[in-house]
Amino acid sequence: MAQITIDIPENEFEDFSKEQWEDLIKNAITERKMKELKWKHIKEISSKSQATEKDVEELTEKAMVKHYSQ
């Protein structure tokens, strides 16, 4: 079973209604599913690729830098 960890400031935590918790959880699950689908798609594409493991590592590093610099 997958676990989802959510960091919420204490002052906001106390003010959440049941509906807000439900929305937050639904959104977190949807986001997780979307990430899994994207990775599955990337794996399908890369399995057909002639790229070496080093190529993949370089591309991954570039993607991570781009992602976290935004």
Pairwise CA distance, residues 53 & 43, whole Å: 13
Asked whether residue 31 is assigned to any structural domain, the reply reads: yes
At residue 12, the pLDDT reads 77
Q: How many domains does the chain have?
A: 1
How far apart CA 45 and CA 64 sit, in angstroms, is 19
Q: Is residue 1 part of a domain?
A: no
Q: Domain span at residue 53?
A: 23-69
| Residue 8 belongs to some domain of the structure | no
* List of residues 6+ apart from 33 with CB closer than 8 A: none
Indicate whether this model's pTM tops 0.85: no
More confident residue, 30 or 2: 30
What local confidence, expressed as pLDDT, does residue 21 receive? 85
User: pLDDT tens for residues 21-62?
Assistant: 889 889 888 988 888 888 888 888 877 878 788 888 888 888
